[in-house]
Amino acid sequence: MGAARWPPCDCPVSHRMRWSNMYRLLIADDEESIREGVADFVRQNCPEWDVAALARDGREALALAREILPDAVLTDITMPHMNGLEFLESLSDLLPEAKLLVLSGYDQFEYAVQALRLGVSDYLLKPLDTAKLVSALSRFAAELDAQALRWAQIETLRTNTQKTNELELQSYFRAALLGEELPALSAANAVFAQEGTSYCCVLCDGLDAQRALLERVLEQRLYGAVRTVLLRLGTPPRQAVVFCAPRTARAGLFLTLSHALTSIAVSCKRAQALDVHFFVGCIAETPAKLELSYRQSTQARAYAFPEQAAPVTTYEDVLAGKLLPCPEPPEELLRDIPAAVQCGSRAAFVQNCEALFAWFVEREIRDATFIRMCVLRLCYSILKKPASDMPMSYYEFTNFQQEIMAAASMEELRACFENFVSLYWLRRQGEKPPRRILTERVSEVVQAHISDIDFSLDDVAAALFISPNYLRQLFKQETGQTFTEFLTAQRMQHAHMLLGNPQTKVCDVAEQAGYADSRYFSVCFKKFYHMTPSEYQAAALEGKA
């Protein structure tokens, strides 16, 4: 097909591949000879298509589709684990714009009807008529070419058209979303508030720093059907989109938005490897009712961690998810994790902690609050001891509890839990005051590496099994100084001791104290002791130091 198929390389989102100018095809069939035979035929006779993956059943095909995001799918119907129709039904939510082909050995009317309802374009019978396959794939490529060209034309039209009073619209809808008094609109923008218009607020994650990209892809997908206004809201600021459409299209607005937003998320992932998620509030009949839509989109965003969120999550999805009971984590994990902590076995703790978070992912549990509560329950189990033997203060545990319930991702939640366990172990090591325990342990590690020029807080954190950020925060809180200040003081004290020998060269002292440049060492030493190393040695020789 050649490079003419694709918009220019700076076009933000299209079916342009990142590594190829070919469209991606996924083939699913439980018969290896057919699967491989069709793949070989396509490779030799359909230059527009790259056979990106082969699947033995519907379940494997769905997993591969999530990974490679194919432009078209060719599937058998009767396959083990998950048949072709079930696979296509699941695929419709993941890739609503994918081209679909069925290759079946059964000429049954019921199968054909179901396939057509799922958006299948052609129903091919075995043995395969290769001419029909070539015709179908050529038609798909032409349709995708035309779609990419249309998006490029829309982009050209958009860039050549000056938006009128965009700042005024942003101010107007910001007031609407926040429930404030609505300012008056100029005549040029009055159409956005006219009677008979429906509105919807959608939050977007993954394109916070790319407003222009989001604006372009929305216009490409919704050109002429829905008007959009982009603005930034919240702390930290995030992209919000207000969609405006004629009320006559209200019933189909949710479907239109879901289809378009899913396609945008898939295209961003396919073309630029961006993880994009949209969170949809309710349809509002007036601008004044957009506040509820904004609140609902915010709740939809808070429901799941980013790693587990679907490309598009509506408030109704959240309500439905909360009505379903979440399964309890395996009893052995709830038992073994506290036991590993009590025994001080870091290896067992890490292994079981990894298993717990993997279980959340495998079971597709998306309720972030439920996951946070499971981790918090484990913290309670670890601390289930007599009050007189509590290894950390009520204030410290309350801080951890707040951090756990505010964790914004699975990674952050796990880090909070690991920091909790690290502090627990630190407190249980002896009856010394907490500040003395931490300082002594850090000092021991520093002294062992005092001559290491590249030594840093990360090295101490690794030695103490504490995350660097948490160690930095804890060290400052408990010693009143930063780690850098502490390390400098330790190096200076070590240098001070070495310089007590007048025969020792300053350059050697600098190296043994962890400084590559003796001149810089001298500057630091003078700043710390108010005399240069040479002056100190001279004073020591005279017995004045």
CATH fold, domain 434-541, is Arc Repressor Mutant, subunit A (1.10.10)
Q: What percent of the chain has pLDDT over 70?
A: 86
User: Is residue 285 pLDDT above 80, yes or no?
Assistant: yes
Predicted local confidence at residue 3, as pLDDT: 30
Give strand pairing partners of 256: none
User: Is residue 312 pLDDT above 80, yes or no?
Assistant: yes
Q: What is the mean pLDDT of residues 101-111?
A: 77
CA distance 503 to 64: 70
Number of H helices and E strands in the chain, helices first, is: 22, 10
Task: Render pLDDT for 435-473 as a digit per residue (tens, 0 to 9).
Answer: 555 677 788 889 999 999 989 888 888 887 667 776 787
User: Is residue 16 pLDDT above 50, yes or no?
Assistant: no
User: Is residue 14 pLDDT above 80, yes or no?
Assistant: no
Report residue 158: phi and psi, to 5°. -65, -45
Predicted local confidence at residue 433, as pLDDT: 47
- Report domain 3-156's class: alpha beta
Predicted local confidence at residue 424, as pLDDT: 85
CA distance 233 to 231: 7
Name the pLDDT band for 4 (thresholds 50, 70, 90): very low
Q: Just give the CATH number of 166-180+193-323.
A: 3.30.70
User: Is residue 107 pLDDT above 90, yes or no?
Assistant: no
Extract the tokens encoding 489.
């003081």
Q: What is the mean pLDDT of residues 68-83?
A: 89
Spans of all domains in the chain: 3-156, 166-180+193-323, 331-428, 434-541
User: Is residue 222 pLDDT above 80, yes or no?
Assistant: no
Q: What is the mean pLDDT of residues 78-102?
A: 85
Contact assessment for residue 371 and residue 404, using Cβ atoms and an 8 Å cutoff: no
Name the pLDDT band for 186 (thresholds 50, 70, 90): confident
Q: What is the pTM of this model?
A: 0.54
Task: Render pLDDT for 471-503 as a digit per residue (tens, 0 to 9).
Answer: 787 777 777 788 899 999 999 999 998 988 888
Q: What is the mean pLDDT of residues 525-531?
A: 90
CA distance 38 to 74: 10
Distance of CA 180 to the CA centre of its chain: 32
**Angle formed at CA 451 by CA 445 and CA 456, multiple of 5 degrees:** 55
Which has more confidence, 21 or 187?
187
User: Is residue 9 pLDDT above 60, yes or no?
Assistant: no
Task: Render pLDDT for 371-426 as a digit per residue (tens, 0 to 9).
Answer: 999 999 999 888 875 444 567 777 788 888 888 998 888 899 999 999 898 888 87
Contact assessment for residue 177 and residue 240, using Cβ atoms and an 8 Å cutoff: yes
The chain-wide mean pLDDT, for the chain, equals 82
Predicted local confidence at residue 21, as pLDDT: 66
* Residue indicated by tokens 């959608």: 202
Predicted local confidence at residue 162, as pLDDT: 46
Predicted local confidence at residue 7, as pLDDT: 29
Predicted local confidence at residue 544, as pLDDT: 53
Task: Render pLDDT for 325-373 as a digit per residue (tens, 0 to 9).
Answer: 788 899 888 888 888 887 677 888 888 899 999 999 888 888 898 999 9
DSSP string, 95-138: -TT-EEEEEES---HHHHHHHHHTT-SEEEESSP-HHHHHHHHH
Q: What percent of the chain has pLDDT over 90?
A: 29
Task: Render pLDDT for 115-125 as a digit per residue (tens, 0 to 9).
Answer: 777 788 888 88
CA distance 265 to 113: 30
